[in-house]
Chains A and B, each alone.
Chain A
Amino acid sequence: MVEQYLRWCGDLLRGDLGDSLFTGRSVTETIAQAAPATLSITGLAIVIAVVVGVGAGLVAGLRQGSWVDRTVSTAATLGIAMPSFWVAMLLISAFALSNRWLPATGYAPLSEGLWPWLSHLILPATALGLATAAELARHTRGCVADVLVRPYIRTARARGAAGFWLVRRHLLRNAAIPVVTVLGLQAGRLLGGAIVVEVVAGITGLGTTAINAVLQRDYPMIQGYVLFSAVIVVLVNLAVDLAYGWINPKVRTA
């Protein structure tokens, strides 16, 4: 066992993850082929989650108790409760089957053009990003509400700061600090969640590859997938830490 593991590690250093037990193709190659689809979905899901979630949370936090706030809070609770595969099916049936606006399944690489790529991704990425958007909206709302009652906001108001000026200069950065942390945690979850959505949307990405590998007990493939996911999660955390330093001056010197 130990010897096997050491040999695997040694090969790894040379960029060789072994060959699949079933297809016979190298694991590295298989992952390289499947990764773009998955990373595209996850990336777009993050973008959607940040834009929708942070935007809605910000408005809700600034207009506490208003109908906007109540709508956002209700929608966020729903968003967290709905499983992504179900949302994906609903979206596909509404936008791809009932009205043939968008393709129901499949994936087109970016090399075929922006729109073909995007059109295949919008539905699964929305389905995937919705729960994260809901989570972010709730957090953002909480953070905004929290920052608004801080003494330094009062000081800024006493200086004549108000409206957009106050939000941009005093609120956003302070409220963003905890939100970025949550986003980092969510990124890992999105990568895992992509597996489910890929299957529903019929996209051959890492998720389907991983599921097949598990069902076929294709150990080299599974090892390769786990390693790849781990690397991505580590990279995301690194990005979060860097963003943290950029947002929060207290972290910079430490």
Chain B
Amino acid sequence: MTAAPLATGTAPDTAGALLSVRGLTLDLVGGTPQPGLVQGVEFTVPKGRSVALIGESGCGKTLTAMAILGLLPRAVRVVSGEIVFAGTDLLTCGPRELRRIRGGPVGAVFQEPMSSLNPTMTVGDQIAEARRIHFREGRRTAREHARELLDRVGIPDARRRLDSYPHEMSGGMQQRVMIAAAIAGEPRLVVADEPTTALDVTIQAEILELLRDLRRDLGLAVLLVTHDLGVVADFCDEVVVMYAGHVVERAPVRDAFRTPAHPYTSALLGSVPRSDHARTPLQVIGGRVPPAGSFPGGCRFQPRCRHTAPACAEPQPDTVVGSGHHTRCGRVAAGGLQPGREL
């Protein structure tokens, strides 16, 4: 936890990791093929910890999450890398094993609960489904468990609510149902893809509170995909910053917020409105994430970076700058730039 740069070469990273993603590269095939949609993504989720995957839209966060769940769209192909969950490589394990893991040891919560819940199935049946598939429970037992789960996620009058349909519930309730369904299979890891994005701010806080309680009580590890830095600061232990298909920085949340070691992270932090900086212009990052297929060589952030140098056109190596703190900025690694919020 100390900020002292002790780590030297050895990778204690993967020991005790529940999930470890190594060198994940995804290509878009068909139509106009685009290689390197996601390239060389590496990170780990330790047991019981919460890791955030952040970045602007179109950075490959959701694709990475879908790759973990084995739910990539047909047009996206895994080129290389491995995704090891509790000793099993999810990319090579075959569909049968993948089905055993999905909904069982790995649960998933998606954004927009309205469209992510089946409109023609009662919420009770949807929550009970994982119990029936993974524990081969009968209708009645699974229903009883579903009722307990609804209770657990804080839905009042659970027994009656079992027979409701999603459209009869509010957005916040629907997301609670999604969470109940995700934890029904007694997972060790929950992949949450922007679980609060489609919700009102007050409801967002409630949902995060619920996730935090569940994490504590069930010892869940959470991979949280989000672009909301407030959520990250509030909820996560570690953060993985993605830009245009690259992981540009990963670090414990405190370090990433205090001493960001990549200009992109620093720029992201700078673009959050802060109450102590009221009445000052909000900083924004100029330009936008390039569309897949037109990524620049070397550092993919360089066209938008304030510190671009000729060396940025070279491939940027992954460098350790602190305990568990990695950056993909060559200039920071070489000491030309100092990590920090002024980066």
Which A residues are closer than 8 A to B by beta carbons? 150-152, 154-162, 165, 169-170, 173-174, 177, 247-250, 253
B contact residues around A249 at 8 Å (CB): 119-120, 165, 167
Q: Are B99 and A152 in contact (CB under 8 A)?
A: no
B120, A159: Cβ atoms closer than 8 Å: no
Max count, chain B CB within 10 A of own CB: residue among A151, A155, A156, A165: A155
The 3 nearest A-B residue pairs measured at CB: A160-B103, A159-B103, A158-B108
* Pair B116/A151 contact, Cβ less than 8 Å: yes
B118 near A174: Cβ-Cβ < 8 Å: yes
Which of B15-23, B42-50, B129-137 is found at the contact surface with chain A? B129-137
CA distance A161 to B184 in the complex (A): 13
Binary contact track B94-135/A, C-beta < 8 Å → 1, others 0: 010001101110011010100111111100010001100110
A158/B115 in contact, CB under 8 A? no
Complex Cα–Cα for A165 and B120 (A): 15
Known A151-B112, A160-B134; judge A250-B119 contact (CB<8 A).
yes
Q: Name the B residues within 8 Å of A162 (CB-CB).
A: 95, 99
Choose one: A159, A170, A250; the contact of B181 (CB below 8 Å): A159
Contact B118 A159 (CB under 8 A): no
A130 to B133, CA, bound (A): 39
Residues of B within 8 A of A248 (CB): 119-120
Question: Is B119's CB under 8 angstroms from A152's CB?
Answer: yes
Known: A169-B121, A248-B120. Is A160-B185 also a contact (CB below 8 A)?
yes
Does B311 make an interface contact (CB < 8 A)? no
Report the minimum CB–CB distance from B85 to chain A (whole Å): 14
Q: Is B205 an interface residue (CB 8 A)?
A: no
Please state if B133 and A160 are interface contacts (CB–CB under 8 Å).
Answer: yes
Nearest-CB residue, chain B, relative to A64: B74
Q: How far is the CB of A166 from chain B (nearest CB, A)?
A: 10
B108 surroundings in chain A (CB, below 8 A): 155, 158-159
Q: Which of A160, A162, A177, A250 has the most CB of B within 10 A?
A: A160
Neighbour of A158 across the interface among B71, B120, B125, B165, CB < 8 A: B71
Contact at B116–A159, with CB atoms within 8 Å? no
Q: Which residues of B contact A250 (CB under 8 A)?
A: 119, 165, 167
